[in-house]
Amino acid sequence: MYLARIKKQGKTHYLIRHSYPEGGRMKSRDLFDLGSDPSRHIVYVGGNGYYYDEAVLDALESAGIAVDSDDLDRILFDFLEPHIQRVIIGFDRSRRQTHPPAALTSSQTPSQPIHLFDKRRYHYLRFGHSEQRHIHRVPEKVFRPLHAKSRDELEQYFLAEERALRNHQRALYVSVIFELKRFAPEESPDRSLLEQMDAFFTSRLCRLNADPGFWEDAAEPNGLREDLVKYAIMYFDYQAPHASPWQAYVEDFIRRHRVYHPPRSVQIKIEEAGRLFGMPWKELKTIDQASLTRLYRKLALKFHPDQGGDPEVFRKLSDYYQVLSKKRR
């Protein structure tokens, strides 16, 4: 079960819906209409006691859904009294999960691949990464929360998660999920760069709007689908954040004056290696492998124990030679 939000006469309307397998696909159906105020279906009996209206329970039972108070707590958590929410959070944090693992077994659920657009949305909302060139390498188990859900449940899930995005994140979010980095301007443009970018975004949005594999059993669109209108708003109404000139100046100053100071133990080893090889460490790091080998062999003959040299010095010399050779490889 999940909570669906729809618009009716300009107001948000809430329904309890359910995803179920049919004909090799996941579909959704309405279970109960909560109206515009789901809290009116919660009855408080004093203290921390409460229960849900019998009309809700009866509707779920008649639909063949096993009634579980934890599921109802998860769905209607935002509409419970604040002191009840604190009790639930302290008692069992798992009840707050937006979508717990589906109860359907693998034999009951259709083996549908997850659409790339869903993966991009989920990946950004979970990890916040704007670089998704290697998203195809991400293990499928990362996207497990998207399995066994109808298209409507997925869109309701993303609608709820995207509400947490801040205004300055929305433009970047749309840029990532629609892969706007793939935009390539025309060589001899008749339109400005901004007009070309707008056209590129619009073409990708319309392509998704008409993708039958994405929308599956949904009706043919008469214009832009309601679930995609929000992305057009995010693109045209929100601007990506730009650093102020002062901020850019400060960051550049920090980068230019950043100096690495190795720990004292590392400094001692660097000085010791330079002393053993008879040249500064910076020069020692830059000489080629052949020159390093010749220098090492010359010093090895000098400090070899068989030639009367110090065994400890010879050991350190060999160790530093191995380290320097490894860096070159």
CA 254 centroid distance within chain? 29
Which two three-digit tokens encode residue 191?
């339109």
Please report how many Cα atoms fall inside a 13 Å half-sphere around the Cα of residue 81, on the Cβ side. 13
The three-state secondary structure class of 121 is helix
Per-residue pLDDT band at 93 (split at 50, 70, 90): low
Residue where a domain stops, chosen among 66, 84, 115: 115
Contact 234, 177 (CB under 8 A): no
pTM of the model: 0.66
Q: Which residues span the domain enclosing 67?
A: 1-115
What is the DSSP pairing of strand 42-46 with strand 25-35?
A: unpaired
Inside any domain, residue 186: no
Measure the CA–CA gap between 143 and 162, rounded to whole angstroms: 17
Range with the largest mean pLDDT of 110-119, 194-203, 252-261, 262-271: 194-203
Percent of the chain with pLDDT over 90: 40
Measure the CA–CA gap between 285 and 277, rounded to whole angstroms: 11
**Starting from the edge strand earliest in sequence, which strands make up the sheet with 2-8, in order?**
2-8, 11-22, 25-35
- In the chain, the number of structural domains is 2
pLDDT at site 104: 43
The three-state secondary structure class of 93 is helix
**Helix or strand run (H / E) with residue 237:** helix 226-237
Inside any domain, residue 215: no
Inside any domain, residue 5: yes
Beta-carbon contacts of 250 under 8 Å, excluding residues fewer than 6 positions away, are: none
Inside any domain, residue 303: yes
Measure the CA–CA gap between 91 and 257, rounded to whole angstroms: 51
Inside any domain, residue 51: yes
Inside any domain, residue 256: no
Measure the CA–CA gap between 118 and 125, rounded to whole angstroms: 11
Which two three-digit tokens encode residue 293?
């080998």
Range with the largest mean pLDDT of 163-167, 205-209, 236-240, 248-252: 205-209
Measure the CA–CA gap between 173 and 195, rounded to whole angstroms: 20
Residue where a domain stops, chosen among 64, 85, 115: 115
Which two three-digit tokens encode residue 276?
């053993």
Provide the terminal-to-terminal Cα distance of the chain, rounded to the nearest Å.
57
Per-residue pLDDT band at 16 (split at 50, 70, 90): very high
Contact 27, 66 (CB under 8 A): no
Which two three-digit tokens encode residue 22?
């049919």
Measure the CA–CA gap between 78 and 14, rounded to whole angstroms: 12
Inside any domain, residue 212: no
Measure the CA–CA gap between 201 and 166, rounded to whole angstroms: 21
Residue where a domain stops, chosen among 115, 147, 166: 115
Measure the CA–CA gap between 247 and 90, rounded to whole angstroms: 42
Cα four-point dihedral sign 293, 294, 296, 297: positive
Per-residue pLDDT band at 221 (split at 50, 70, 90): confident
> Does the structure show a pLDDT above 90 at 102?
no
CATH number at residue 324: 1.10.287.110
Which two three-digit tokens encode residue 186?
């025309």
Q: 90, exposed or middle or buried, with CB in 10 Å at 0-12, 13-18, 19+? A: exposed
Higher pLDDT, 105 or 181: 181
The three-state secondary structure class of 3 is strand
Inside any domain, residue 10: yes
